[in-house]
Structures are given as C-alpha cells and as structure tokens.
Amino acid sequence: MITGIQENSGQIRTGRAWAKKNMRNIYVSFFEGQAGFLKLFLRILQLNSKTSNDLILDRIQRGFNSKK
C-alpha cells in the first residue's frame, strides 16, 4: 500500500512538471503571437512615425524575450 502511494506521488510530481513546462511554452507562444499582431496593427495604422513605432516594438519584444 505504501509503495502504491509513493508511485502515485511520483507520477503526480512528474505530471505537474510536464504541465508547467508545456503551459509555459503555450504562454510564450501566445505572447509572441500577440507581439506579431501588434506589429502588424501598428504598421497598418501607422499611428506615429516609423521611428517611434520601431522603438515601441523593440521595447515590447525585449519584454517578451525576457520571459523566455
């Protein structure tokens, strides 16, 4: 009985580690997608000059890259 509990707790720990790793990848992919959309959106609308748009995008991308 004790062996069964120990095996199950090991599987639960392994499952949690797998889920944490994969959820992190999903979140990173989502944020990269959002950055791509924002880049496209800013290019289409051209709200500011090209230089200021590039500065904004660089800041955003640096922020997303630091989360990897």
Q: Which carries the bigger pLDDT value, residue 19 or residue 49?
A: 19
What is the Cα–Cα distance from 54 to 67, expressed in whole angstroms?
Answer: 20
- Which pLDDT belongs to residue 31? 67
Over residues 46-56, the mean pLDDT reads 64
- Written as one letter, the residue type at 29 is S
Residue 30 tokens read as: 């989502």
- Which pLDDT belongs to residue 2? 46
- Which pLDDT belongs to residue 6? 45
Q: What is the dihedral of CA 32, 24, 67, 36, to 10 degrees?
A: 0
- Which pLDDT belongs to residue 32? 67
CA angle 28, 40, 49 (to 5 degrees): 120
